[in-house]
Amino acid sequence: MDVHEYQAKELLARYGVPIPRGGVVYSPEQATYRAKELGGSAWVVKAQVHAGGRGEAGGVKVCTTDREVNEVANQMFGSRLVTRQSGPEGKLVYRLYVEEASRIQRELYFGIVVDRSTERIMVVGSREGGVEIEELAELRPEALVRISVEPALGFLEFQARELAFALDIPYELVPQAVHVFRSAYRAFRDLDAAMVEINPLVITDSSAGASELVALDAKMSFDDNALFRHLEIAELRDRSQEDARESHAADRGLAYVGLDGDIGCMINGAGLAMATLDMIQLAGGAPANFLDIGGGASPDRVLKAFRAVLNDQNVTAMLVNIFAGINRCDWVAQGVVDAFAAIDVRIPVVVRLAGTHVEEGRAIIAASGLPILTADTLAEAAELVVTAARREKVLDGHPA
């Protein structure tokens, strides 16, 4: 689960990470009032959406007058911000964050992620902040400093100092840097985060007083499986920023990822699901989703999965691909039949069953009398569903 910038900053600030003064607003009038309340001569108005690249897309504006703050806020509210991470549909802007402008001397990068390859928490830093870290890692990996955290010990003080030295932080700011790095790590650990990113972490200009480190932007995402331990974090969820299909499925305990195609998929097992998506594309089709119903799927769970797939209006055909181990093909088959009785299924459905109780499952499908296409192999199923999807497009008057 992702949270907004202002929420991430509030969480990090609780652990001692310094942030600029600011506040969230829900109208242009509130934005103007917030700027006056903060005082000063310049403010930054930021669109609060779950996508990076806001600055390039016009979602971050520096304003020098109250009137300018109001005008910028008026333009942003209700707009759809399209960034390199939002997809072509963009993200609706419902809230803004107004904060005091900072005098920046240098920009750095600091992040904490779970590194699955080493099964460790990885602390990452760079002397270059405010840039797309994925591009930097690909083009110039030597610009990144990586420190692996031993789970039994945590992120130690000497490691934080080494990172500060590697980032060429001025000697007088090293103690504060150590505090910031370790505070962010504690927030990551205590809140069961999956990622903490401060980009940029800035060193302020000393001309306005003593230099200090400030988290100018922040992102946090959390392990969904641990949210039951952190109800205050779960309440920060903003459904307006999520794919409606994914939200619908997640609320019903289904592992679902929305894609851009038109062939709905219901599969058990992540590996089989990935192979099925590849096979559909090899056959010339485009999957509309990744949906793993998991093991031990009851007919009721299959019905929920059907509803989740058909919740996508772009779906023109559906493939049910089950290789039953813990699962049982007769349970799945009964769930498919029940789905036809409970839902007005108007698209072609292809079912491929294999594994435990496969003969019983096929018998249930055959005895139902429903217009369900069946296949013995994955390749055959993929060809059938792609052909069916093309036929539906032609019948609807769209080019295949």
Q: Which residues are catalytic?
A: 109, 197
Structure tokens at 100: 């005091």
User: What would the DSSP string read from start to end of 187-229?
Assistant: HHHHTTEEEEEEEEEEEEPGGGSS--EEE-SEEEEE-GGGGGG
Is 99 within any annotated ligand binding site?
A: yes
Q: Is 150 annotated as a binding residue?
A: no
53 annotated as a binding-site residue: yes
Q: Are 227 and 1 in contact (CB under 8 A)?
A: yes
Reduce the DSSP state of residue 322 to 3 states and report it: strand
Report residue 86 CA to chain centroid gap. 10
The SS3 of residue 126 is strand
In whole angstroms, what is the distance from residue 357 CA to residue 301 CA? Answer: 18
Residue 55 counted as an annotated binding residue: yes
- CA 59, CA 77: separation in Å to the nearest integer? 10
Q: Rounded distance, CA 74 to CA 14, Å?
A: 31
**Displacement of CA 225 from its chain's centroid (Å):** 14
CA distance 304 to 252: 7
Please identify which residue in the block is written with the tokens 């990744």.
290
List CB contacts of 397: < 8 A, sequence separation 6 or more: none
- Asked whether residue 325 is marked as a ligand-binding residue, the answer is no
Instruction: Return the structure tokens found at 227.
Output: 């949210």
Half-sphere exposure at residue 173, Cβ-oriented, CA atoms within 13 angstroms: 22
Phi and psi at 200, nearest 5°, equal -95, 155
Asked whether residue 107 is marked as a ligand-binding residue, the answer is: yes
Distance CA 7, CA 191 (A): 13
CA–CA separation, 212 vs 350, rounded Å?
62
- 192: tokens are 């069961």
Is 199 flagged in the annotation as binding? yes
Residue 327 marked ligand-binding: no
Alpha-carbon distances, residue 143 vs 127, 139, 140, 174, 200 (angstroms): 7, 9, 6, 20, 15
Q: How far apart are CA 72 and CA 27, in angstroms?
A: 11
| DSSP-derived 3-state class of residue 399 | coil
Q: Which residues are annotated as a binding site for substrate?
A: 268
Q: Which residues are annotated as a binding site for ATP?
A: 46, 53-55, 99, 102, 107
Q: Which residues are annotated as a binding site?
A: 46, 53-55, 99, 102, 107, 199, 217, 268
